[in-house]
Amino acid sequence: MIRQLLSTVVLGVGLLLAPLVMAQTLENDVFALQNRWEHITTQVPERERADAFGALAADAEAVAEAHPSEPSVLVWQGIILASQARAKGGVGALGLAKKARAALERAVALDPQGGNGSAYVTLGALYDRAPGWPLGFGDSETAEKMFSRALEIRPEGIDVNYYYAAFLEDEGRLEEAREHARRATEGPLREGRERSDEALREQARSLLGERE
C-alpha cells in the first residue's frame, strides 16, 4: 500500500515537473541557436559563413520540428535561413530566402510581436533584397511595412534602424536614411547580441560617413 502510494506521488511530481523541464530545454535550444548565430556572424570569415550557417540551419530545423508552434524557435530559424541565403548569394539563395520568409510569417502569426520585432526586421530585409516577380517575392512596399512594424515595437533598436536606413538609402530617401542611421548609432546593445549589434552600429556610422 505504501509502495503504491509512493509510486503515485512520484508520478504526480513527474507530471508537474515535465512542463518545467520542457520549457528549460526549449530555452536552452533557443539560446544555443542564438549563440552560434552570433559567433558565425561576428567571428567566422565570410568565405566560410555559408557552410557554417548551413549546418546551423539544419540544427534549427530539428529544433523547429520538436517545437513546431513555438514562435521564438521559428524566429531564429528564419533569421538563420536568411543569414545563410545572404552568405550564399546568387539564384541558389532564393529557395533559402523563401524558407526563411515562411518560418518568420508563421512566427508572427503565433506572436504578433515577432520576437520583439526581430521577425519583422528580417522580413523587411528579405523583401528588400529578394528579386521581384516573377522570379522572387521582393517588394519595396511590403519591405517598408515590415520595417515600420518593427519600429513600432522597438523604435530604438540598432538592427531595426540600420536595416531601415539601408533600405531608405537604396530608395533614394537620403535624409530619412541618415536619420535612422543616426538612431542606429545611438541604440542600446542587446544582451547576447552585443557583437552583432556593435557591427551594425559601425555600419551605420559608415553610412553616415562618420567612421574613423
Look-up of cell digits 506521488: 9
pLDDT the model gives residue 212:
42
Query: What amino acid occupies position 7?
Result: S
pLDDT in tens, 157-204: 999 999 999 999 999 999 999 999 999 999 999 999 999 999 999 999
- Taking all residues of the chain, what is their mean pLDDT, rounded to a whole number? 90
> Does the structure show a pLDDT above 60 at 15?
no
Distance of alpha carbon 168 from alpha carbon 190, whole angstroms: 24
Inter-CA distances, 22 with 11, 61, 66, 197, 206, Å: 16, 18, 11, 30, 44
Taking only Cα atoms into account, the Rg of the chain, rounded to an integer number of angstroms, comes to 20
Predicted TM-score (pTM) of this structure: 0.86
Distance of alpha carbon 143 from alpha carbon 130, whole angstroms: 10
Q: Which grid cell sits at 16?
A: 508537474
> Does the structure show a pLDDT above 50 at 20?
no
pLDDT in tens, 39-94: 999 999 999 999 999 999 999 999 999 999 999 999 999 999 999 999 999 878 99
pLDDT the model gives residue 153:
98
Q: Which grid cell sits at 157?
A: 533598436
